[in-house]
C-alpha cells in the first residue's frame, strides 16, 4: 500500500475535511510535525477546536477517541506553551485522563506533535515509580499529563506547584464520571488558579457533566462532532451464536480458520480475561492478557509486545477497546457481547484501520439477545450471522433482563461444573503441530486435539462470597445499571485505570445542546454477510 493511499484512507476514517492545517493558525513547527505524522488535513474536531483553543477561550468539546481529538487540543497547546518558560516545581498546563493507557497515548502524541519544540512534559500515572515522577517534576514542566489519583498523591506530597497552570484539559469527562473520578477532578480544579483556560472533552452529556461544565468553564465555545455510531467501512463483522459452554471452542475454531495476523479478543470482565488467556495458552496459542488489575509495568510491556506483533493475540477488557490506537490489526473477537452498544463500535473499530481490511467476530449466547438487539439499533443493521461447521448454532433470547440474569447464573454454574472436571492435557504432539500458525492453533481440517470439546484443566474462577460482597459495595451504581460487574481496572492506588461497560445516556446541555447529540446516526452501508 502506498503512503498516499494510507493517508487517503486515514482521512476517510477520521472524517477529515478539505480545510488545511495551515488555515488554522498553527505555527510552522507544529505544521511540520503534523506533516511528518502523515496527516494531510484536519479532522472536523481539529478544524473546529484548534482556532478556538488558540484564542485562549474555554471550550466544551463533544468528541470521543477516534475523531482526532487529542491533536485538537495538543497542537494549539504546544503553540501556546511555546511562549513562556517553566519555573522550578511549577507546571504550566495539566491534562487529566481517566486511564493510564490514554495518558500514555496522549504523552506519546505530545512527543510526536511537539518534536520541533523544546517543551518538557511529565506523565503522572499510577503503577509506576512515584520517585521517578517526583524527579521529573523538580525542574518544572510545561505539560503534566496525569490520571487524577496519582496527580493528587504527588500534590499531597508537596511535589507540584500549581500557581502557574494556565491551561487545564479534562479529557473523557464522561468516562471520569463512570469511573468515580469526579470528586478527585473537582478537588484538582479547586487547587488550580481561577484565571486559566479550560478545555473539557466528553462524548456524552449526562447531567453531572453538564453541572461540571457549568462550574469549570467560563463562557465556553461548544464544538462537537458525531460520535462514531457506525463501524469503520473496512470492517466486516459477523455474529456467531453458540451455547455458553461452546464459546471457547468456537473461538479456537475461528482463530484457527481465520488468517489472523493480530487480534484483540474482548471479554467484559477482567477475571474472564485471565481465564480465557490461560485457556488459549493451554491450547498452544501465543496470547497475552491485558486488564486493569495487572501491574502497570506488565500492562505497558504487554501492549508494547502486542504493538510490535511479538504477541499476535491479546485478550483484553475494554481498557483496550476505547481510545487505544493499535495499527494493522486484522481481527477483533468479542468473546463477550459488549453491554453498551457503543462499545461494539469501539471494539471492532480497532481493526479495519489505515486502509486495511478488518474482520470482527462476536460470539453471542442466547441470553445476549437484548444486547445484540441494542447494537443492531445503534448501527442500524443486523450483524450478519454465520454458522461454524460442527458447532450447533442457537437462537438468541429476547426475554426480559431479569429472567436472563437468573438463567445466566444457572448457565454459569452448569458451565463451571463441566469445566472444573479434571481433564487430560492436550496431546503435546498435537500442540506442536498447531504452533505453525499465527496464534498457534491447529490448521483447519486437522484432527481435533484430545480434550477439544472439554477444555483441559480449565476452571471458571469463582470469587469468594466475601470478595464479591466487598467489590459489590464499591460498584453499586454500575450494578444498578447493568447487573454485571465490569472491569474497572483495580485500584492499587487511587487511579483506577480501566474502562468499563457503562450506561451512557446523552442528556442534552440545556440551551447549549451540541448538534451531535441531536443528530441521528448516519445511514449505514449494509454489508453482505
Ligand atoms: P484520537 O481521536 O486523538 O485518539 O486520534 C485517533 C487517531 O487518528 C490517531 O491514530 C491519530 O494519530 C489519528 N489522527 C489524528 N488526527 C489525524 C489527521 N488529521 N489525519 C489523520 N490521522 C489523524
Q: Same CATH fold, 235-386 and 8-224?
A: yes
- Among positive and negative, which fits the CA dihedral 139, 143, 149, 150? negative
How far, in Å, from the CA of 46 to the mean position of ligand 1? 10
Specify the pLDDT at position 300: 83
Arithmetic mean of pLDDT, 49-65: 93
Q: Which atom of ligand 1 is nearest to the CA of 63?
A: 2
In Å, how far from its chain's centre is CA 88?
35
Percentage of the chain beyond pLDDT 90 is 44
Q: 149, 112 in Cβ contact below 8 A?
A: no
Q: How far apart are CA 462 and CA 365, in angstroms?
A: 20
Does 7 have pLDDT greater than 60?
Answer: no
Specify the pLDDT at position 1: 33
Domain 8-224 falls under CATH 3.40.50.2300: no
Q: What is the pLDDT of residues 339-360, one digit of tens each?
A: 888 788 878 877 776 556 789 9
Specify the pLDDT at position 178: 79
Q: What is the pLDDT of residues 410-447, one digit of tens each?
A: 333 333 322 222 223 333 333 333 333 344 444 333 33
Q: 135, 227 in Cβ contact below 8 A?
A: no
Q: Which residue has the higher pLDDT, 364 or 233?
A: 364
Distances (CA, A) of 512 to 45, 60, 171, 211, 516: 17, 10, 19, 13, 11
Q: Which residues pair with 286 in a beta bridge?
A: none
Q: Which residue has the higher pLDDT, 391 or 154?
A: 154
What does DSSP assign to residue 139? Answer: T
How far, in Å, from the CA of 21 to the mean position of ligand 1? 13
Q: How is the chain split into domains, by residue range?
A: 8-224, 235-386
Q: Which of 68, 97, 327 maximizes ligand 1 atoms within 8 Å of its Cβ, making it the mutation to test the pocket? A: 68
CA-proximal residue: ligand 1, atom 19 (nearest): 42
| Reported confidence tier of residue 386, pLDDT bands at 50, 70, 90 | very high
pTM above 0.85, yes or no: no
Q: What is the pLDDT of residues 133-177, one digit of tens each?
A: 888 999 999 999 999 999 999 999 988 999 999 999 999 998 898
In the block, residue with C-alpha cell 465555545: 221
407: cell is 438463567
454: cell is 472439554
Does 488 have pLDDT greater than 60?
Answer: no
80: cell is 501556546
Specify the pLDDT at position 509: 37
Q: Architecture of domain 235-386 in CATH? A: 3-Layer(aba) Sandwich (3.40)
Q: Which residues pair with 169 in a beta bridge?
A: 95, 199
In Å, how far from its chain's centre is CA 508?
24
Specify the pLDDT at position 151: 95
Strands (E), 340-428: 358-364, 385-386
357 φ, ψ (degrees, to nearest 5) = -70, 145
Q: How far apart are the first and last CA of the chain?
A: 26
Using a 6 Å CB cutoff, which residues line ligand 1?
Answer: 10, 14, 16, 39, 42-43, 46, 65-71, 323, 325
Q: How far apart are CA 70 and CA 34, in angstroms?
A: 13
Average pLDDT over the chain, rounded to whole? 75
Tally Cβ neighbours within 10 Å of residue 90: 18
| Reported confidence tier of residue 229, pLDDT bands at 50, 70, 90 | low
Amino acid at each position: 500500500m502506498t503512503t498516499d493511499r494510507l493517508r487517503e484512507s486515514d482521512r476517510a476514517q477520521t472524517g477529515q475535511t478539505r480545510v488545511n492545517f495551515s488555515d488554522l493558525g498553527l505555527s510552522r513547527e507544529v505544521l511540520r510535525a503534523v506533516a511528518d505524522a502523515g496527516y494531510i488535513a484536519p479532522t472536523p474536531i481539529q478544524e473546529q477546536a484548534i482556532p478556538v483553543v488558540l484564542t485562549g477561550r474555554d471550550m466544551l468539546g463533544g468528541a470521543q477517541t477516534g475523531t482526532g481529538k487529542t491533536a485538537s487540543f495538543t497542537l494549539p497547546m504546544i503553540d501556546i506553551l511555546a511562549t513562556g518558560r517553566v519555573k522550578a516545581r511549577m507546571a504550566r498546563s495539566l491534562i487529566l485522563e481517566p486511564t493510564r493507557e490514554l495518558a500514555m497515548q496522549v504523552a506519546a502524541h505530545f512527543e510526536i506533535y511537539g518534536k520541533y519544540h523544546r517543551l518538557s512534559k511529565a506523565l503522572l500515572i499510577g503503577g509506576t515509580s512515584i520517585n521517578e515522577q517526583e524527579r521529573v517534576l523538580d525542574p518544572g514542566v510545561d505539560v503534566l499529563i496525569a490520571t487524577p489519583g496519582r496527580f493528587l498523591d504527588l500534590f499531597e506530597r508537596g511535589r507540584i506547584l500549581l500557581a502557574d497552570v494556565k491551561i487545564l484539559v479534562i479529557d473523557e469527562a464522561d468516562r471520569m464520571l463512570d469511573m468515580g473520578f469526579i470528586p478527585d477532578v473537582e478537588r484538582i480544579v479547586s487547587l488550580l488558579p481561577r484565571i486559566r483556560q479550560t478545555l473539557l472533552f466528553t462524548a456524552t452529556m449526562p447531567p453531572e457533566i453538564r453541572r461540571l461544565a457549568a462550574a469549570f468553564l467560563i463562557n465556553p465555545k461548544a464544538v462537537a462532532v458525531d460520535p462514531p455510531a457506525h463501524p469503520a467501512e473496512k470492517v466486516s463483522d459477523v455474529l456467531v451464536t453458540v451455547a455458553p459452554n461452546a464459546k471457547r471452542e468456537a473461538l479456537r475454531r475461528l482463530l484457527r480458520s481465520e488468517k489472523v495476523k493480530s487480534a484483540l479478543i474482548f471479554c467484559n470482565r477482567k477475571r474472564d480475561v485471565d481465564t480465557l488467556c490461560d485457556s488459549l495458552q493451554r491450547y498452544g496459542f501465543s496470547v497475552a492478557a491485558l486488564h486493569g488489575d495487572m501491574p502497570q509495568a506488565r500492562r505497558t510491556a504487554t501492549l508494547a509486545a502486542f504493538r510490535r506483533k511479538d504477541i499476535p493475540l491479546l485478550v483484553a477488557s475494554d481498557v483496550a477497546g476505547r481510545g487505544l490506537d493499535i495499527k494493522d490489526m486484522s481481527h477483533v473477537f468479542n468473546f463477550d457481547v459488549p453491554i453498551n452498544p457503543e462499545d461494539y463500535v469501539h471494539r471492532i473499530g480497532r481493526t479495519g484501520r489505515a486502509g486495511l481490511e478488518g474482520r470482527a467476530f462476536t460470539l453471542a449466547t442466547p441470553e445476549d439477545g437484548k444486547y445484540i438487539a441494542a447494537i443492531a439499533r445503534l448501527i442500524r443493521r443486523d450483524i450478519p450471522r454465520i454458522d461454524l461447521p460442527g458447532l450447533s448454532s442457537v437462537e438468541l433470547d429476547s426475554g426480559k433482563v431479569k429472567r436472563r440474569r437468573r438463567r445466566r447464573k444457572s448457565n454459569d454454574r452448569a458451565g463451571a461444573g463441566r469445566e472444573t472436571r479434571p481433564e487430560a492435557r492436550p496431546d503435546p504432539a498435537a500442540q506442536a503441530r498447531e504452533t505453525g500458525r499465527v496464534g498457534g492453533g491447529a490448521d483447519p481440517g486437522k484432527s481435533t486435539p484430545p480434550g477439544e470439546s472439554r477444555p483441559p484443566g480449565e476452571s471458571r474462577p469463582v470469587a469468594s462470597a466475601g470478595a464479591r460482597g466487598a467489590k459489590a459495595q464499591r460498584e453499586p451504581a454500575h450494578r444498578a445499571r447493568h447487573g454485571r460487574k465490569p472491569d474497572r481496572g483495580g485500584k492499587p492506588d487511587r487511579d483506577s485505570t480501566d474502562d468499563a461497560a457503562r450506561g451512557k445516556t446523552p442528556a442534552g446541555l440545556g440551551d447549549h445542546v451540541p448538534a451531535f447529540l441531536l443528530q441521528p446516526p448516519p445511514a449505514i452501508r449494509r454489508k453482505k454477510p
